[in-house]
């Protein structure tokens, strides 16, 4: 059975209530449930934290998995620690953003994480997670 880590970072635990006009009304639990139904034969390891060091540790742990999907939230725009952790592991990796970060504030348009992953999905809402998981399973 394939094992995929799905790591969610800072403020993603507030999905469903935080800026629903941008991020939608679905909670992280809703998204997880949908993905478990869509990928029944895959061991999906979902985690969320507001602590950058914990997130980095989980990235290292995912080195033994078949793939990694990350939504670091705002850390995408400034965390070189997360970039370096991603760069150090050799599994298929996809960065996900619920909103289209390229159509938002200037500071959100650059991700320091993107150069350390294989693909980026942005602006597809929760469906982006499904695309990302499918990508890592095929690579």
For the chain, domain boundaries: 3-138
The pLDDT value recorded for residue 3 is: 98
CATH classification number, 3-138, choose in 2.60.120.10, 1.10.10.10, 3.40.50.9100, 3.30.70.20? 3.40.50.9100
Cβ–Cβ < 8 Å for 38, 130: yes
User: What pairs with residue 69 in β-bridges?
Assistant: 6, 94
pLDDT tens digits along 61-96: 999 999 999 999 999 999 999 999 999 999 999 999
Q: Catalytic residue, from 78, 83, 97, 135: name it.
A: 97
- Whether 97 sits among the annotated catalytic residues: the reply is yes
Helical residues (DSSP H) of the chain, grouped into ranges: 20-23, 28-38, 52-61, 80-87, 127-138
Q: Catalytic residue, from 23, 51, 127, 139: name it.
A: 23
- Whether 23 sits among the annotated catalytic residues: the reply is yes
Residue among 91, 49, 50, 67 nearest 4 (CA): 67
Read off the pTM: 0.92
């Amino acid at each position: 059975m394939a094992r995929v880590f799905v790591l969610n970072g800072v403020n993603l635990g507030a999905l469903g209530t935080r800026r629903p006009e941008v991020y939608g009304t679905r909670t992280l639990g809703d998204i997880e449930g949908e993905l478990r139904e869509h990928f029944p034969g895959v061991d999906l390891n979902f985690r969320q934290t507001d602590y950058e060091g914990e997130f980095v540790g989980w990235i290292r742990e995912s080195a033994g998995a078949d793939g990694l999907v990350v939504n670091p939230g705002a850390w995408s725009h400034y965390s070189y620690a997360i970039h370096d952790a991603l760069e150090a592991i050799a599994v298929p990796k996809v960065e996900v953003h619920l909103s289209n970060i390229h159509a938002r504030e200037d500071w959100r348009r650059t991700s320091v994480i993107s150069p350390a992953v294989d693909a980026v999905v942005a602006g597809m809402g929760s469906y982006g997670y499904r695309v990302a998981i499918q990508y890592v399973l095929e690579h």
